[in-house]
Amino acid sequence: MAAWLPVLKIALPYVSNIVAAAIPAFTRRKTGEPPEELVTRQIAELQEAVTGNAETVRLLAAQVEKTLKALETGEAEAAQRLTQQLAGLHDGVARAEGIANQAQAQITRLDGVTAALQMRIGELELQYQRQGGVERRREYSIAGLAVLAALLAIIALLR
């Protein structure tokens, strides 16, 4: 609908000329004038109107043709721009998919690193617990030896 708006704007000034030329105002019959002269003048007026109409239609056709060419050119340019924009969008989407794939690979790698760190933490906790048990045994052994030494000292004193 919007494509015909420029055509209507161009054609509107000529419509009144076409209508005025299509309905000629015939010369009125004067009293006492022979009918042949009246017919001759009316034929001349009709020929003049047809000539004017033909010229107006030719100008209108030229304007319509020019407008249609401009519309076709605009349509072709718009189609080319849209094609370029779509190509740009496709490139952007492809780049975004590549980045998303890289991010997913990073996430997978980080998940592996996290799992390895959790395993190492578990190993270190076990090792710490084992070392804590060894140290407690050592402390108990030292305390036991101290108690034994004290008992021996008491026994030695008692003897």
Question: For the segment 68-90, what is each residue's pLDDT rounded down to a tens digit?
Answer: 999 999 999 999 999 999 999 99
**Contacts for 3 with CB less than 8 Å, ≥ 6 apart:** 71
What is the value of pTM for the model shown?
0.42
Q: Is residue 8 part of a domain?
A: yes
Question: Who wins on pLDDT, 110 or 38?
Answer: 110
Q: Is residue 125 part of a domain?
A: no
Q: Is residue 24 part of a domain?
A: yes
Q: Which two tokens stand for residue 148?
A: 């034994």
Q: With contact defined as beta carbons under 8 Å apart, do 41 and 29 qualify?
A: no
Q: Is residue 67 part of a domain?
A: yes
Q: Is residue 124 part of a domain?
A: no
Domain boundaries, position 91: 2-112
Number of domains in the chain: 1
Q: Is residue 80 part of a domain?
A: yes
What pLDDT score does 3 carry? Answer: 64
